[in-house]
């Protein structure tokens, strides 16, 4: 089955890759890879990042290595993109690793952990703190090589139909969240939902959903969630960053000439920078637009942050106790995360505060 | 003179580039570029970033485009690297654009402005907010094309031999600072110094210098500044980010095959990500080490931040009034900066605070 899928994908465009070794003597081979991506059309920044990556790979290889988005290549319902690519459904695909957390909880570290790393800290851990190597180890027997390819930055805390004044207001709340946030919300008495993006606004309007966290201002504005649920809470403690991944099928990658492998790797890194820069550049105006259209921006009560923080710690400890694979990644991530938080308080957060003439953070809690 | 310099540089390694057009018909040409970089040996992260960039360009081009650091290629004393590269001293070189601020004050926006953008916001402005295009316009008549290539993130506020309790303690203070910080310090009664890195510790020890801002914990630890001036103040409001630039000589670039031009551009973007990730990953342990070795970490008094903030605003307004070139860049940068600060307070800073169980920022000052 796995082999057959791979051959199917090869038929769709991997043919050239097979010829890579003999062809290279006559110059770099012509290769065409179909790319699988299920980002909804509305996510124009993520889709723009994919276009950017694809153009860069073509440009780096003199238009010899062409990666083409193929809308017909789609994982089956609930199949994480990394499994689709790993099983040969496509040579390359984009998605978020926490989609596979039911099978492998440690994959949350490849996307986002509540109260965890912010986007810059995530890059520091992935590229320079051993994170990427650990994530690749988790996926070693899945024939897929992941690359960070983008990050939304800190998201909003969600759109709520009613005000949230205390932790008890989360009781029974049907709240659409992603990834590990679902478990944390359950701890707090909420009812996490996995409503698809295309149903979000309607579900809030017909009151089958009480609240929804989608992404940040730019993306949320396009879905019009504020029209159905005007209370927007911050910070987005459930997803203080959301890293997207580019998955490359291992066998397909092994057949690439080394220059093309490097082109994919470097283009992913550049897209990672590009996507966060674009979210950062466009989110401020979108937030202004949202409030102009009636969104009511509110900070979460500290009581809720405390309860959610405790629930997150308990959940992480429980997962670490239950799985040596989780424990191994957590043992790298946790001290890195704590050190980042302390350092950012001194340096980045205090600098950011000084720009608004607020006093520096204190150096200890 | 300019032409002669360029020819000299070509003799040192640009020869291959001249043959690029005829050679490409037989496959990509072999090109060797000498790279000029004056980062001191102690700046291992920046130098590591240069090595990383050079390896990536080689890897992307099948070792056909080789960029080689050439220590003999050095700007004359006080000559900014961008002028050295622009005048043909080297086809490629790394430096900081604010080194040329005496000639063109608007170049501070290509490096760092006190109380300005942090590293992520700098990327957002450069890549997605029009910043890079504006900076390139400033340099259009200098035959040099700049690329962001790294960022230290927020630096420390400096090492002081004595405690700083009030704004008046800055009076007459001989304080080593870089870039626009010098003017701000002068406004506050201080005496900005441009002491070279290799003299910093000795100058603090023999008391010809009262204070010195160099970089962040990782770099400062290597210079041992804390041994001579134990009071370390934060935040580093004078340099909340410090972007490094890669300068490419325009004529040399024009002669490259398009694939090689793309290789330089994408490798610079990746190095930008790599360098910040590495600073972020290594700074926390260095800060711990510094305090273990006697560094005394203190927040700047709010009074000083207020006075410095006012001095910065006045300085920016004065520069904008004096020069239409400065005004044009400032007109893009200033509203972008204000919008970023507000958005980061809601999103990033509030998320970062929640991780330490501090209440969210308020949405207005």
| A151 touches B: beta carbon within 8 Å | no
Q: Which of A190-204, B3-17, B261-275 is predicted with the least confidence, judged by mean pLDDT?
A: B3-17
In this prediction, residue A214 carries a pLDDT of: 95
Question: What is the domain class of B31-153+245-281 according to CATH?
Answer: alpha beta
ipTM score assigned to the predicted complex? 0.93
Distance from CA of A338 to the nearest CA of B (A): 9
In this prediction, residue A16 carries a pLDDT of: 39
| A150 touches B: beta carbon within 8 Å | no
Mean pLDDT of chain B: 92
Hey, CA dihedral for B178, B180, B182, B188, is it positive or negative? negative
Q: B158-240+295-347 adopts what CATH topology?
A: D-Maltodextrin-Binding Protein; domain 2 (3.40.190)
Burial class of residue A18, CB neighbours in 10 A (0-12, 13-18, 19+): middle
Dihedral pair phi/psi, residue B100, rounded to 5°: -105, 15
Q: What is the mean pLDDT of residues B64-79?
A: 94
Q: Where are the domains of chain B?
A: 31-153+245-281, 158-240+295-347
pLDDT over 70 at A11, yes or no: no
The SS3 call for residue B75 is coil
Q: Decide if A124 and B281 are in contact by the 8 Å CB cutoff.
A: yes
- Burial state string for B15-31 with b = 16 or more CB within 10 A and e = fewer than 16: ebbeebeebeeeebbeb
**How confident is the model over B38-62, as pLDDT tens digits?**
898 889 999 999 999 999 999 999 9
* Residue B7 confidence class, pLDDT cut points 50, 70, 90: very low
Q: What is the mean pLDDT of residues B338-354?
A: 96
Q: With beta carbons under 8 A apart, name residues in chain B contacting A299.
A: 350, 359-363
Closest chain B CA to residue A263:
B60
Q: With beta carbons under 8 A apart, name residues in chain B contacting A305.
A: 354, 357, 359-360
pLDDT over 50 at B23, yes or no: no
pLDDT over 50 at B185, yes or no: yes
Q: A1-365 adopts what CATH topology?
A: D-Maltodextrin-Binding Protein; domain 2 (3.40.190)
The SS3 call for residue A315 is helix
| A26 touches B: beta carbon within 8 Å | no
pLDDT over 50 at B277, yes or no: yes
| A152 touches B: beta carbon within 8 Å | no
pLDDT over 80 at B313, yes or no: yes
Q: Decide if B240 and A115 are in contact by the 8 Å CB cutoff.
A: no
Which residue in A56, A236, A282 is closest to B262 by CB distance? Answer: A56
In this prediction, residue A13 carries a pLDDT of: 41
Burial class of residue B310, CB neighbours in 10 A (0-12, 13-18, 19+): middle
Q: What is the mean pLDDT of residues A58-62?
A: 98
Q: What is the mean pLDDT of residues B93-113?
A: 97
Q: What is the mean pLDDT of residues A14-21?
A: 40
The SS3 call for residue A54 is helix
Q: Decide if B270 and A274 are in contact by the 8 Å CB cutoff.
A: no
Any residues with CB less than 8 A from the CB of A187 and at least 6 apart, and which? A311, A314, A315
In this prediction, residue B357 carries a pLDDT of: 84
End-to-end Cα, chain A, rounded Å: 54
Q: Decide if A124 and B344 are in contact by the 8 Å CB cutoff.
A: no
User: What residues 65-94 of chain B have any CB closer than 8 A to a CB of chain A?
Assistant: none
Q: Decide if A346 and B216 are in contact by the 8 Å CB cutoff.
A: no
In this prediction, residue B78 carries a pLDDT of: 87
Q: What is the mean pLDDT of residues A283-294?
A: 98
* Residue B5 confidence class, pLDDT cut points 50, 70, 90: very low
> Do the domains at B31-153+245-281 and B158-240+295-347 have one common CATH topology?
yes
Q: What is the mean pLDDT of residues A337-364?
A: 89
Per-residue DSSP letter, A357: T
* Residue B365 confidence class, pLDDT cut points 50, 70, 90: very low
| CA B189 remoteness from chain centre | 25
Any residues with CB less than 8 A from the CB of A22 and at least 6 apart, and which? none
Distance from CA of B126 to the nearest CA of A (A): 9
Closest chain A CA to residue B362:
A299
In this prediction, residue A250 carries a pLDDT of: 98
Q: Do residues A70 and A37 make contact, with C-beta atoms less than 8 angstroms apart? A: no
pLDDT over 50 at B216, yes or no: yes
- Burial state string for B265-301 with b = 16 or more CB within 10 A and e = fewer than 16: bbbbbbbbbbbbbbbbbbbbebbeebbeeebebbbbb
Which residue in B272, B305, B354 is closest to A305 by CB distance? Answer: B354
**How confident is the model over A168-180, as pLDDT tens digits?**
999 999 999 999 9
The helix (run of H) or strand (run of E) holding residue A60 is: helix A44-60
**How confident is the model over A252-271, as pLDDT tens digits?**
999 999 999 999 999 999 99
Higher pLDDT pick, B293 / B19? B293
In this prediction, residue A360 carries a pLDDT of: 85
Which residue in A123, A276, A362 is closest to B277 by CB distance? Answer: A123
**How confident is the model over B117-128, as pLDDT tens digits?**
999 999 999 999
């Amino acid at each position: 089955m796995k082999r057959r899928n791979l051959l199917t994908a090869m038929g769709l465009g991997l043919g050239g890759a097979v010829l890579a070794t003999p062809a290279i003597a006559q110059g770099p081979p012509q290769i065409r890879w179909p790319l699988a991506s299920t980002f909804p059309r509305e996510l124009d920044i993520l889709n723009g990042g994919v276009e950017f990556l694809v153009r860069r790979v073509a440009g780096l290889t003199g238009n010899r290595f062409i990666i083409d988005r193929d809308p017909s290549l789609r994982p089956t319902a609930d199949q994480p993109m990394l499994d689709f690519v790993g099983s040969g459904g496509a040579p390359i695909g984009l998605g978020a690793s926490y989609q596979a957390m039911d099978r492998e909880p440690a994959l949350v570290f490849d996307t986002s952990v509540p109260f965890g790393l912010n986007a810059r800290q995530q890059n520091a851990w992935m590229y320079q703190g051993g994170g990427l190597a650990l994530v690749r180890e988790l996926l070693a027997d899945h024939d897929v090589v992941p690359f960070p390819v983008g990050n939304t930055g800190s998201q909003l805390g969600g759109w709520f139909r009613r005000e949230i004044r205390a932790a008890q207001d989360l009781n029974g709340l049907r709240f659409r969240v992603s990834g590990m946030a679902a478990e944390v919300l359950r701890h707090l008495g909420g009812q996490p939902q996995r409503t698809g993006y295309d149903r979000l606004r309607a579900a809030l309007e017909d009151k089958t959903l009480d609240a929804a966290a989608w992404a940040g201002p730019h993306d949320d504005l396009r879905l019009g969630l504020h029209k159905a649920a005007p209370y927007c809470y911050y910070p987005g403690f459930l997803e203080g960053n959301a890293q997207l991944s580019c998955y490359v099928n291992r066998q397909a990658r092994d057949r690439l000439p080394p220059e093309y492998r490097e082109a994919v790797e470097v283009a992913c890194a550049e897209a990672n920078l590009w996507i966060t820069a674009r979210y950062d550049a466009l989110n401020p105006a979108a937030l202004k637009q949202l409030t102009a259209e009636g969104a009511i921006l509110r900070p979460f009560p500290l009581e809720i942050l405390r309860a959610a923080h405790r629930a997150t710690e308990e959940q992480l400890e429980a997962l670490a106790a239950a799985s040596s694979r989780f424990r191994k990644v957590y043992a790298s991530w946790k001290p890195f995360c704590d050190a980042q938080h302390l350092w950012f308080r001194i340096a980045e957060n205090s600098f950011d505060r000084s720009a608004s003439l607020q006093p520096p953070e204190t150096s200890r809690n």
